[in-house]
A and B are shown apart, each in its own frame.
Chain A
Amino acid sequence: MELLPQSREALDEYLAPAGDDLEDQLSAIESWAARTVPECVAMSVTLLEEDLTFTYVAGGRDEVDASPPHGAGPPGAGWHALDEEGWAALARQQAAAGIASTVSLPVVDDDRVVLGIDLYACTPHAFDDRLEDLATSLGAWRGGAVTNADLAFESRRRAEQAPERLRERRLIEVAVGLLAAREGVDVEAARTLLRSSARQAGIEDVQAALVLLALSNG
C-alpha cells in the first residue's frame, strides 16, 4: 500500500511531540496489516488527540475511493427500519468502491484511546476470525473493535483534510507565539486571548490568527 499524497504532505509537516518517527510506525503497521490480511486494500491511522488521519491505499487500485458507487441510495418500499439485514445491505450498497469489509481497532494507552486503526478489505469476510490476532499484534483493544463501521471509507476524507488542518494549526501556533511576545505573557495565556478574541469577533481561531499575522507583518 502507498501513502495518499495528502498523507505524505501531512507527514512532512507533522512533528511528533515526543520526537518519535510517526512515519516509521505507520509503515510498520501497514506492512504488518498487508501481510496478515492479504485482501487489505487500504489502511488509515488516526491520532485521536490531534484529530489527524493518515491513509495508505493499495498501489494501482484506483477503485479504492470514498465515492459510493453510482446508483446508491435509500432503501425502497417494503423495507423496515429494524431490519438489520436491510441495514447491512444498505451499508454495502453505499460502501466505497472496492471496499467490502472494514475493521476499526482502537489503541488504548493509560486508559485513553489514543489511536484509531482502520483496515479495509476488498472481500466481505476478510477480517472474520482474524480480529483477535489483529488486536493482539497491533496492540489494540479487542473489545473495542468494530466491523464494517466505515464502509464508506470516510477516513480517507479525513486524511485528505489533514494538510489543511496542519496548515491552520501552524498559523495559529505562530500567531500565539507572536501574541505572547507582544503581550509579555506565556503561550497558554496568549492562546486563551486569541480564542476569546476570535469568539468575541464571531470568527474562527484561524481567522483571528490570520488577522494577527497580517497586523504583525504590517
Chain B
Amino acid sequence: MHRPAPTTNISSRTLLVGVREESELVLHGLRSMLAPHSSAVSLVGIRADQPAPPCDLTLFEPAAPHRAPGSPLRVPGRSVAYSWDCSPDAVSTAMSRGAAGFVSKWLPAHRMVRDLLQIADGRVVIDTWTGRKVGQGGPEQRWPLTQRETEVLAFIAAGRSNQEIVDETLLSINSVKSYIRSAYSKIGVTSRSQAVLWAVRHGLLLSTEADDDGLRLVDGQPTQRVPQHH
C-alpha cells in the first residue's frame, strides 16, 4: 500500500511556513536543516507581538511554556503541531484544538518536507516518528486496531455509508459491519459521532478533497496508508 509521495499542487511553488514563537535555537536549527529544500519550503519566524505574515502553514509547539493550555490557535494558514512530545495524548490534544497535522521534531528533513507539502495539500498527516523501533514505546503505544478496522474507521470518519465502504473495500456488507463493531468495541465507542471524534483525534481523517493518496498514519508504527478511490 506504500506509494511514492504524491505530486502536489503546492509543490510547484515554494511553501511558506511560519514558525510560531520558537526559540532561536529551534528556528535557526530548522532553517539549517531545511536549507537543502529551500526551493520547496521557506521558513519565517512569527512572534506574538508582531503582525504575522501570510503563510501556507504555521508550525507551533503545543507544549510551549508560554501557551495557555487549551487556548485557541490563531495563526496564519493551517496550523501544524511540531513537538518532541509525540505521545497519543499530545497528538489528540493538538488535533482536537484544530491542528491540521502533527509532525515530530525528531523527523529528518526530507520527511518533514514531504509531510508539510501533504498537509498544505489538504491532507491530515500525523507523523510521530521518533527514531525508535516499533515496540520500544511500550504496549500503551500500540495501535489498537487491525489494518482493516483502521481502514473502515477512516471511511466512517469520512462520512461514507456502509454500502460505500463495501464499494471501496470490496468487502461484504456483513464484514464491513463486523469491522465497524469490532473497531467500536476496541476504541470504546458506541456511536458514529464518537467514532468520528476518536478518528480525528488519532489522525484517521480522510480528506474528501484528497486525490488518490488518502490518509497516512504514522504512530510509531510502520506507515499505513488508507486507499481512497473516487
- Residues in chain A within 8 A of chain B (CB atoms): 9, 12-13, 15, 17, 19, 167, 170-171, 173-174, 176-178, 180-182, 184, 186-187, 190-191, 213, 217
Q: Which of A17, A167, A171 contacts B190 (CB 8 A)?
A: A17
Q: Nearest chain B CB to A66's CB is how many angstroms away?
A: 25
Total A-B pairs, Cβ < 8 A: 70
List the B residue with the shortest CB-CB distance to A183.
Answer: B96
Q: Which of A9, A171, A186 contacts B159 (CB 8 A)?
A: A171
Residues of B177-230 at the interface with A, using a CB-CB cut-off of 8 Å, are 177, 180-181, 190-197, 199-201, 207-209
- On whether the beta carbons of A176 and B181 are closer than 8 Å, the reply is no
Q: 3 closest Cβ contacts across the A-B interface?
A: A177-B196, A181-B200, A173-B192
- On whether the beta carbons of B209 and A217 are closer than 8 Å, the reply is yes
Note all chain B residues with C-beta closer than 8 A to A15: 162, 177, 180-181, 192
Q: Which of B97, B159, B209 contacts A174 (CB 8 A)?
A: B159
B98 within 8 A of A: yes
Count of interface residues, chain B, beta-carbon cutoff 8 Å: 29
Listed by A's residue number, 6 A-B pairs whose Cβ atoms lie within 8 Å are A174-B159, A176-B193, A177-B195, A177-B197, A178-B200, A187-B194
Apart from A9-B163, A176-B193, A180-B197, list 14 A-B contacts with CB within 8 A.
Answer: A12-B163, A13-B161, A171-B159, A173-B192, A173-B193, A173-B196, A174-B156, A177-B193, A181-B196, A181-B201, A186-B197, A187-B191, A187-B193, A217-B209
- On whether the beta carbons of B208 and A182 are closer than 8 Å, the reply is no
- On whether the beta carbons of A12 and B194 are closer than 8 Å, the reply is no
- On whether the beta carbons of B96 and A174 are closer than 8 Å, the reply is no
Q: Nearest chain A CB to B190's CB is how many angstroms away?
A: 6
Q: Is the interface of B mostly helix, strand, loop or mixed?
A: helix
Note all chain A residues with C-beta closer than 8 A to B192: 15, 170, 173-174, 177
List the B residue with the shortest CB-CB distance to A173.
Answer: B192
- On whether the beta carbons of B190 and A177 are closer than 8 Å, the reply is no
Known: A15-B177, A17-B190, A19-B181. A177 touches B200 (CB 8 A): yes
- Residues in chain B within 8 A of chain A (CB atoms): 70, 95-98, 156-157, 159, 161-163, 173, 177, 180-181, 190-197, 199-201, 207-209
Q: Nearest chain B CB to A139's CB is how many angstroms away?
A: 25
Complex CA gap A42/B115 in Å reads 57
- On whether the beta carbons of A217 and B208 are closer than 8 Å, the reply is yes
Q: Nearest chain B CB to A51's CB is how many angstroms away?
A: 16
- On whether the beta carbons of A184 and B97 are closer than 8 Å, the reply is yes
List the A residue with the shortest CB-CB distance to B98.
Answer: A182
Q: Nearest chain B CB to A12's CB is how many angstroms away?
A: 5
List the A residue with the shortest CB-CB distance to B156.
Answer: A174
- On whether the beta carbons of A177 and B161 are closer than 8 Å, the reply is no
Complex CA gap A173/B184 in Å reads 14
Complex CA gap A184/B208 in Å reads 22
Complex CA gap A19/B189 in Å reads 12
Q: Nearest chain A CB to B101's CB is how many angstroms away?
A: 14
Note all chain A residues with C-beta closer than 8 A to B95: 181
Note all chain B residues with C-beta closer than 8 A to A182: 96, 98
List the A residue with the shortest CB-CB distance to B190.
Answer: A17
List the B residue with the shortest CB-CB distance to A11.
Answer: B173
Note all chain A residues with C-beta closer than 8 A to B161: 13, 167, 170
Note all chain A residues with C-beta closer than 8 A to B180: 15
Interface centre among A19, A167, A180 (most CB of B within 10 A): A180
- On whether the beta carbons of A190 and B193 are closer than 8 Å, the reply is yes
Complex CA gap A154/B159 in Å reads 31
Note all chain A residues with C-beta closer than 8 A to B209: 217
